[in-house]
A and B are shown apart, each in its own frame.
Chain A
Amino acid sequence: MTRKAKRLYSIGAMVLVVGAAAGLVLTALSSSVAYFQSPTDLVKNQPGPAQRIRLGGLVEDGSVKRDGSSHVTFRVTDSVDSVPVTYTGILPDLFREGQGVIAEGTLGPDRVFVADTVLAKHDEKYMPKEVVDDLKARGLWEDGKGLVQKPEKTVSAAPAGAGS
């Protein structure tokens, strides 16, 4: 084999491996990433049953209900709309009413969000960044001050578009 042929082969192999990896990355990016949505977004949009979603907002005051087993229901609100969430498992230590939370899962046909992962903050000073950005956009949060205005309890899960 000549030096040139060798170089061609090695470049070919490299292109093959990198190309295959790029293909995998593109497929995975289109199918297996989760989109962040606020309760308002979720009420407005109609995501497919298989679409993974990160629902972020505040745990609505007085909405957490445990049925005595490991099954929990609560509502996530962004002061405009709220979405009911069910979850089976152990909630994080810092999961509290009125605090920021991110629930990851899918929206069921009955419009109840089925979460398989619930993330709360790691620290009492910390709020999930997506939630902060969303609250900031609504004027409920200021840098350095935190939550300036408590979101009011939403009366009911407003039908699409009615709340805004």
Chain B
Amino acid sequence: MIVEIGHFALVLSLSVALVQSVLPALGARRGDERLMETGTIAATGGFLLIAIAFAALMTAYVTSDFSVLNVFENSNSQQPLLYKFTSTWGNHEGSMLLWVLILAFFGALVALFGRDLPASLKANVLSVQAWILTSFLLFILLTSNPFQRLDPAPMEGQDLNPVLQDIGLAIHPPLLYLGYVGFSVAFSFAIAALIDGRIDAAWARWVRPWTLIAWIFLTLGIAMGSYWAYYELGWGGWWFWDPVENASFMPWLAGTALLHSALVMEKRSALKIWTILLAILTFSLSLLGTFLVRSGVLTSVHAFATDPTRGVFILCILGLFIGGALCLFAWRASALEGGGLFAPISREGALVFNNLFLTTAAATVLVGTLYPLILEVLAGKKISVGAPFFDLTFGPVMLPLLFAVPFGPLLGWKRGDLLGAAQRLYFAAGSALAVLIGVLAYTGGTRILTAFGFALAFWILAGSLTDLFLRAAFLRAGWRTGVSRLLGLPRSAFGTTLAHFGLGVTLLGIVSVSSFQGELITTMAPGQTAEIAGYTLAFDRIEQRPGSNFEAQAAAFSIRRGGVVEANIESSKRFFPARQMTTTESGIWTHGFSQLYVSLGDPSPDNRSIVVRIWWKPLVTLIWLGAVVMAAGGLLSLADRRLRVGAPARRSRAQAAPAGA
């Protein structure tokens, strides 16, 4: 019964979305306020209906209702309760339902917190949101119905893919989707502005917080996914340039560019057309990512579906939205007026530089991701593009940008002083030089690239702090005044500093792991030891142990340094009988920011010893911590009073306050 209610609610939400697609836009055209206001009701109502549908599916999962095909295929009654919840989105149908739930959620947020928006802009935005929603609801109802019944109902389900039975999976998809789908708001605003033929600084002030929200979630989602792959797949790698990873990375690059260009538009009302185009491109890349992952053209842990009709359907949605948006852009963009002038060396110029390199970098990733697919379709050749390609293309494109990061915030608007900025960066340059010499001395002059990598990371770290340090004027005014000045700075200044600092932190982790990682593959029997990076790893024992829905073969290790036991870790292999599948649980010891990582291989033929792969990963956690710092920077920017959602100066503060959350 509950399942049928869910199905019905989903169908009903489609008709609500259809209404929302037409009426508000029509109202905006005719200047009819009552028609425009239907958008608000439809958006919130539609969200509630989809939430009911999602709750119904989740109930079926939690109660292990195997009369539902989707639950039977992806769940098992023995699963821990947490994974019964997360199974809801650990499959194609359920994850698409989560996708539209989040899309409707953002639509409802615009409807509720957009009270101060110009009525026609809001109506158009909500209609565009509803177009996207309608097509994806149709996709679910026609090709991927999660509520399909199974008769007779089996006694036991087929279990969730074991590599997905992990706490990382509980968090990663919702975060990633909040990011992906969050960019739909920027897209809708861009389309609405094109329809209106009007765009101004207030528009940018509106778009920036939504873009920031999406960007924060996408940053965290990508970092979470990377960490999950690192510890769950047992390969010890944190980024594989897998097409699915690229699918989430491209919108991130474009979204980062959008954040920066919206800044120019808000402050100086320049780069209008470019910002609109970026907003369209960013969400287009999100849609492309959804297509790549959901259509089954790629083979990966994410590609649940291999039904070709689904691929064609999403491809149609993709073509319709990207093609339609770009046509509208080509037709209407010339109607938008250009904005303020600026010299090439200026804050605006620096942000254009940022945009140029970020979009070029996104383009190289796009080529590397799509080229194999296109080549296969056109020429029938099968190739794979992996890390060597991206090291040669993405890396060199990002280098100038990374080098330029500290300069940006130090340049003035309209006309900047590059020499002055360079002079103010003496401390950053000094620390980078010191690091360069230090690393060269430490490695005996053999690792020149490594030394430059570390120097670049410290250049960004120190350089990003320089702006705050100078603005507080610690040197001139003394530390007491400095601190009070620092506290008086707008939060967005801290946001910029923190986000750039996080970038440096991530870079430091990447450079450190790729240069100084230690790896050892060996066969060990209980009682034996192995040496890595000054630590002694002793294989204590191996035992068989039952788990909730698996059998574990757990190997216990102790880590010693100078005879003293520092830590005990356990690495195991889990066998899941429902799927006849084995997974590797890596044993990880975190020491400071570094990690010692142990994963198990196959036992020897006589079953006495086992292959063990051990890594020493110096500063590896910085890679993900940096992303968290970046996201925290985004959050601080979002909290800046100037940027609060719905705080145009002409309205009262009291009315706008609740929108700041």
Binding site for B on A (CB under 8 A): 1, 3, 6, 9-10, 13-14, 17-18, 20-21, 24-25, 27-29, 31-36, 52, 54, 66, 68-70, 88-91, 93-94, 104, 122-124, 126, 128-130, 133
Contact of B568 with A by CB under 8 A: no
- Establish whether residues B301 and A91, one from each chain, have CB atoms under 8 Å apart when the complex forms: no
Shortest Cβ distance from residue B168 to the other chain A in the assembled complex, whole angstroms: 15
- Establish whether residues B581 and A29, one from each chain, have CB atoms under 8 Å apart when the complex forms: no
Which residues of the partner chain A approach B602 to less than 8 Å between Cβ atoms? 66, 90-91
Query: Could you list some 14 contacts between A and B, CB below 8 A?
Result: A13-B356, A31-B388, A33-B384, A36-B384, A66-B602, A68-B604, A69-B611, A70-B613, A89-B521, A93-B582, A93-B583, A124-B580, A124-B581, A129-B299
- Establish whether residues A21 and B389, one from each chain, have CB atoms under 8 Å apart when the complex forms: no
Other A-B pairs beyond A29-B389, A124-B579, A126-B299, 17, CB < 8 Å: A9-B344, A14-B356, A24-B397, A25-B367, A28-B388, A32-B386, A33-B383, A36-B381, A52-B388, A54-B382, A68-B609, A90-B602, A91-B601, A93-B581, A104-B386, A129-B298, A133-B382
**Contacting residue for A33 out of B389, B580, B606, B609, CB 8 A:** B389
Would you give the 0/1 interface string for B421-464, flagging 1 where the beta carbon is closer than 8 Å to chain A? Answer: 00000000000000000000000000000000000000000000
With A34-B386, A35-B382: A89-B613 Cβ-Cβ less than 8 Å: yes
Contact of B534 with A by CB under 8 A: no
Interface segment among B146-154, B318-326, B357-365, B484-492: the answer is: B357-365
- Establish whether residues B364 and A90, one from each chain, have CB atoms under 8 Å apart when the complex forms: no
Which residues of the partner chain A approach B360 to less than 8 Å between Cβ atoms? 17-18, 21
Binding site for A on B (CB under 8 A): 161, 163, 234, 298-301, 341, 343-344, 352, 356-357, 360-361, 363-364, 367-368, 371-372, 381-386, 388-389, 391-393, 396-397, 521-523, 573, 579-584, 599-602, 604-606, 609, 611, 613
Shortest Cβ distance from residue B537 to the other chain A in the assembled complex, whole angstroms: 15
With A28-B388, A93-B583: A3-B521 Cβ-Cβ less than 8 Å: no
With A68-B604, A70-B523: A90-B599 Cβ-Cβ less than 8 Å: yes
Number of A-B contacts (CB under 8 A): 126
Which residues of the partner chain B approach A123 to less than 8 Å between Cβ atoms? 161, 301, 579, 581
**Contacting residue for B611 out of A20, A32, A70, A130, CB 8 A:** A70
Shortest Cβ distance from residue A122 to the other chain B in the assembled complex, whole angstroms: 4
- How far is it, in angstroms, between the C-alpha of A128 and the C-alpha of B382 when the chains are bound? 12
Which residues of the partner chain A approach B396 to less than 8 Å between Cβ atoms? 20, 24
- Establish whether residues A10 and B344, one from each chain, have CB atoms under 8 Å apart when the complex forms: yes
With A6-B344, A36-B383: A90-B613 Cβ-Cβ less than 8 Å: yes
- Establish whether residues A25 and B384, one from each chain, have CB atoms under 8 Å apart when the complex forms: no
- How far is it, in angstroms, between the C-alpha of A137 and the C-alpha of B388 when the chains are bound? 30
- Establish whether residues B397 and A88, one from each chain, have CB atoms under 8 Å apart when the complex forms: no
- Establish whether residues B389 and A122, one from each chain, have CB atoms under 8 Å apart when the complex forms: no
- How far is it, in angstroms, between the C-alpha of A6 and the C-alpha of B346 when the chains are bound? 13
- Establish whether residues A21 and B613, one from each chain, have CB atoms under 8 Å apart when the complex forms: no
- How far is it, in angstroms, between the C-alpha of A36 and the C-alpha of B388 when the chains are bound? 16
- Establish whether residues A93 and B356, one from each chain, have CB atoms under 8 Å apart when the complex forms: no
Shortest Cβ distance from residue B175 to the other chain A in the assembled complex, whole angstroms: 21
Which residues of the partner chain A approach B523 to less than 8 Å between Cβ atoms? 68-70
Give the 4 A-B CB pairs with smallest separation, nearest first: A36-B382, A32-B388, A90-B601, A28-B392
- Establish whether residues B611 and A104, one from each chain, have CB atoms under 8 Å apart when the complex forms: no
- How far is it, in angstroms, between the C-alpha of A125 and the C-alpha of B364 when the chains are bound? 33
- How far is it, in angstroms, between the C-alpha of A18 and the C-alpha of B161 when the chains are bound? 42
- Establish whether residues A130 and B382, one from each chain, have CB atoms under 8 Å apart when the complex forms: yes
With A29-B371, A90-B613, A93-B582: A35-B356 Cβ-Cβ less than 8 Å: no
Which residues of the partner chain A approach B606 to less than 8 Å between Cβ atoms? 68
Which residues of the partner chain B approach A35 to less than 8 Å between Cβ atoms? 381-383
**Contacting residue for B383 out of A1, A34, A90, CB 8 A:** A34
- Establish whether residues B385 and A33, one from each chain, have CB atoms under 8 Å apart when the complex forms: yes
Shortest Cβ distance from residue A15 to the other chain B in the assembled complex, whole angstroms: 11
Which residues of the partner chain B approach A94 to less than 8 Å between Cβ atoms? 581-582
- How far is it, in angstroms, between the C-alpha of A47 and the C-alpha of B445 when the chains are bound? 38
Which residues of the partner chain B approach A31 to less than 8 Å between Cβ atoms? 388, 392
- Establish whether residues B579 and A32, one from each chain, have CB atoms under 8 Å apart when the complex forms: no
Query: What residue in chain B is nearest A9 (Cβ atoms)?
Result: B344
- How far is it, in angstroms, between the C-alpha of A17 and the C-alpha of B606 when the chains are bound? 59
Which of A9, A20, A122, A124 has the most B CB atoms < 10 Å from its CB? A122
- Establish whether residues B573 and A93, one from each chain, have CB atoms under 8 Å apart when the complex forms: yes
**Contacting residue for A128 out of B299, B361, B611, CB 8 A:** B299
- How far is it, in angstroms, between the C-alpha of A41 and the C-alpha of B182 when the chains are bound? 46
**Contacting residue for A70 out of B341, B397, B601, CB 8 A:** B601
